[in-house]
Amino acid sequence: MRLEPGSHVAPHLTLVSLLRMGGVGSIWAAHHLGLGKDVAVKFISASLATNSTAVARFHREGALMARIKSPHVAAVYEHGVSGDGLQYIVMELLCGEKLSDRLARAARLSLQETVSIVSQLCEGLTAAHRLGIIHRDITPEHVFLADAGGSTCVKLLDFGVARGDVDPDGTTLTATGAVVGNLVYMSPEQFFDPKRVDGRSDLWSVAVMAYQALTGAPPFEQRGLEALLDAIRIGIFPLPSERSADITPALDAWFVKALSREPAGRFGAAEEMADALHQAAGAGPPSPVGAPSKAG
């Protein structure tokens, strides 16, 4: 099937415009006749369409995301196969920008914005972790700042390498020992003992993004893989107050705990982590996060 504006993926699904291309596939804006609204449709790339592992992972991504009911995880309406065998996932159509684009433009975010982003991500992760779903690849590229009528709703995207305790078909998933994720945002156990990865690994990645948002750089940014691995293995990083004068000792202490080398030393759950950040920041209700553009 040739993907182009006007193509019918299914009788109820008509492509409108290409939103973006990626290594795994493409995302299109489309009109969903059954829902009566525009949606985003994600397709697996032609180069991966004959790879059984990639196809299974793509199918599982749609199935896992559809199970998570949270305003802070991109909603999946359906996933399936077109008449000519093309795998697709139908998601909510989002307007806004990725956190990676926001950071590239602004370099640093305010404490209130950072607290708001972390709090909303933790809400989404609470819903995922309760289902036994671990994202394993939380990066600014996979966090979307969606325009929600004047305010911003943070959405977690791309569960392509997520792991669930149980597959949607009821099959128990076993740990493979494979290393997955973006190196800068990966927890120590993702590198050195992947079978130990649990929800606290996702929280580590959120803390790395929060550190980057407040200081302008991630805590572990050594050049070269070996130097980066050594820094993460040792677990020593500059306190954020060493990079930004407006960071308080309470916030330093939050990052020391959130980025503990051992999972047992970190916050045990996403809600606990978000609550502790509010307290450390002396924050009231999170302020809106700014945003604009379209994506799924």
**Among the residues of 107-154, which ranges form H helices?**
111-130
Q: Which entry of 38, 84, 101, 137 is annotated as an active-site residue? A: 137
Contact between 244 and 92 under an 8 Å Cβ cutoff? The reply is no
Contacts of 242 (CB under 8 A, 6+ apart): none
Q: How far apart are CA 256 and CA 239, in angstroms?
A: 8
Distance CA 16, CA 206 (A): 34
Looking at residue 267, the DSSP 8-state letter turns out to be -
DSSP helix/strand/coil, 293? coil
CA angle 85, 158, 52 (to 5 degrees): 35
DSSP classification of residue 166: B
Mark whether 193 is an active-site residue.
no
Q: How many CB atoms lie within 10 A of CB 238?
A: 12
Q: Of 290, 293, 277, 292, whose CA–CA distance to 115 is shortest?
A: 277
CA 159 to chain centre: 7
> Residue 41 to residues 52, 113, 280: CA-CA distances in angstroms?
21, 30, 40
Q: Is the dihedral of CA 163, 166, 170, 171 positive or negative?
A: positive
Tell me the backbone φ, ψ of residue 34, rounded to 5 degrees.
Answer: -65, -40
Residues recognised as catalytic: 137
